[in-house]
Chain A
């Protein structure tokens, strides 16, 4: 494993996001995200985790403080270039309903001017990567199951092979069985991809399974930053509450923390 590069992939420096009405959704957040980590933004609804994610690809613009991507302030980036360097996968996938799977995945390569044959190859490669049969390429999103749609959403986010992947509760809308299946597969995929991944979730199991680092947010503020194993030990009341909320009624343990090994 190489030494941590000097420039973090993403760095928040006292970054805030305030609504025009004055309510702060993210308050002076300072956070460095090193290249290659899978950072989990964990928190309940309204904790500011989705807002934090959207600041990174400028779907929202920070109202105070700084936010650096690869050492460069986000506002100095060409916003389209910035977004194409950050894959974006969201809950329910948000697939384009009028496009087939193939065109959904191939849209960004096509607007980037890739030749048709290269797009087709890339789509096949991505379908395989996310565990879908190539025959699905001609189907429309409405003809897919929730799990398949979510897989296509991940494939679409990976189309341009971006160094960063932003994921907003990508498995949130799935039934527990399908979710567990996709989480497990994504854990495998993650090892092959070696990307910087920022994943928003309120699911502690998902955080422990996929994260190399867990950032706990509450009411727009950073509560703590933990390695997964550390999260299971910390006495921070909110982390304790989280562990409690996710422990099974019979006291059976949570899945082992996967990220501690890195």
Chain B
């Protein structure tokens, strides 16, 4: 009897749950990126607004994740399906590192470069698309990377509300005091987090090299 037993006996199930896990975390980070990048760009140069928004998003992280999943039962439409709740919660978690890094990235662009661009006659949107965002891109990707690792981890808890994913194996293993079952959930989750971290890290370093 080894801890690999369950993994070796049920590869199909582990694979299917890994797929669910990837889609939970992936969809959530995608939603957080699509909303977080424009929001971050909007608040970056408005310090008062940035403080408020970052404060509010930060407050979400104070709520224990298990409780946050639970609270969402009360939300109409979202509360009807467990994966919806999980994705909303995971998107909210992913929002903080993304927002924070978009702000930091934009504010980190050398003001001389921005002033040169503006003085030469670039419009504000040209300045954003051609100068600020490309120069902030490495930092933004770093934020997305943190969000991915965070969500791959927290997504295991989504199984507690029946949203699926590798957490199912872990929770089942906990209930049955079966280490090999826990391991069958934990190992792929760890591998996922590492793989995502390394690949995004590679992209990030490539981007920073250019600047």
Residues of chain A touching chain B, judged by Cβ–Cβ distance below 8 Å, are 54, 57, 59, 80-84, 87-88, 90, 92-98, 107-108, 111, 140, 153, 156-157, 160, 166
Q: Are A83 and B121 in contact (CB under 8 A)?
A: yes
Distance in angstroms between the alpha carbons of A90 and B134 in the assembled complex: 22
Q: Select one of A80, A94, A96, A98 contacting B121, CB under 8 A.
A: A80
Q: Select one of A80, A93, A140 contacting B116, CB under 8 A.
A: A93
Q: Are A98 and B119 in contact (CB under 8 A)?
A: no
Distance in angstroms between the alpha carbons of A95 and B110 in the assembled complex: 10
Q: Given A92-B112, A98-B134, A84 and B121 touching (CB < 8 A)?
A: yes
Q: Are B113 and A95 in contact (CB under 8 A)?
A: yes
Distance in angstroms between the alpha carbons of A92 and B115 in the assembled complex: 12
B207 nearest in chain A by CB position: A98
Please indicate the chain A residues that have their CB under 8 angstroms from the CB of B211 in the complex.
97-98
Please indicate the chain A residues that have their CB under 8 angstroms from the CB of B113 in the complex.
94-97
Stretch from B32-40, B67-75, B122-130 contacting the other chain: B122-130
Please indicate the chain B residues that have their CB under 8 angstroms from the CB of A84 in the complex.
120-121
The A interface, classified by DSSP as helix, strand, loop or mixed, is: mixed
Distance in angstroms between the alpha carbons of A256 and B103 in the assembled complex: 52
B45 in contact (CB, < 8 A):
no
28 inter-chain pairs at a CB distance below 8 angstroms, sorted by A residue, are A54-B119, A59-B115, A80-B121, A81-B121, A83-B118, A83-B119, A83-B121, A84-B120, A84-B121, A87-B120, A88-B120, A92-B112, A93-B116, A94-B112, A94-B113, A94-B116, A95-B113, A95-B116, A96-B113, A97-B110, A97-B113, A97-B211, A98-B134, A108-B122, A111-B122, A111-B126, A153-B116, A156-B120
CB distance from B21 to the nearest CB of A (A): 36
Q: Mark B191-211, 1 if CB is under 8 A from A, else 0.
A: 000000000000000000011
With a 10 A CB-CB cut-off, give which of B110, B116, B117, B134 has the most chain A CB atoms.
B116
B126 nearest in chain A by CB position: A111
Please indicate the chain A residues that have their CB under 8 angstroms from the CB of B135 in the complex.
97-98
B131 nearest in chain A by CB position: A96
The B interface, classified by DSSP as helix, strand, loop or mixed, is: helix
Please indicate the chain B residues that have their CB under 8 angstroms from the CB of A83 in the complex.
118-121
Please indicate the chain B residues that have their CB under 8 angstroms from the CB of A95 in the complex.
113, 116
Q: In chain B, residues 153-203, which have Cβ atoms closer than 8 Å to a Cβ of chain A?
A: none
Q: Are A157 and B120 in contact (CB under 8 A)?
A: yes
Q: Are B130 and A90 in contact (CB under 8 A)?
A: no
Residues of chain B touching chain A, judged by Cβ–Cβ distance below 8 Å, are 110, 112-113, 115-123, 126, 130-131, 134-135, 210-211
Distance in angstroms between the alpha carbons of A107 and B211 in the assembled complex: 17
Please indicate the chain B residues that have their CB under 8 angstroms from the CB of A98 in the complex.
134-135, 210-211
Besides A84-B121, A90-B115, A98-B210, 7 more A-B contacts (Cβ < 8 Å) are A87-B120, A88-B116, A88-B119, A96-B117, A107-B130, A157-B120, A166-B119
Please indicate the chain A residues that have their CB under 8 angstroms from the CB of B123 in the complex.
80
B116 nearest in chain A by CB position: A94
Q: Are A108 and B120 in contact (CB under 8 A)?
A: yes
Distance in angstroms between the alpha carbons of A84 and B120 in the assembled complex: 6
Distance in angstroms between the alpha carbons of A87 and B134 in the assembled complex: 24
Q: Are B210 and A90 in contact (CB under 8 A)?
A: no
Distance in angstroms between the alpha carbons of A14 and B113 in the assembled complex: 31
CB distance from A94 to the nearest CB of B (A): 3
B123 nearest in chain A by CB position: A80
Please indicate the chain B residues that have their CB under 8 angstroms from the CB of A81 in the complex.
121
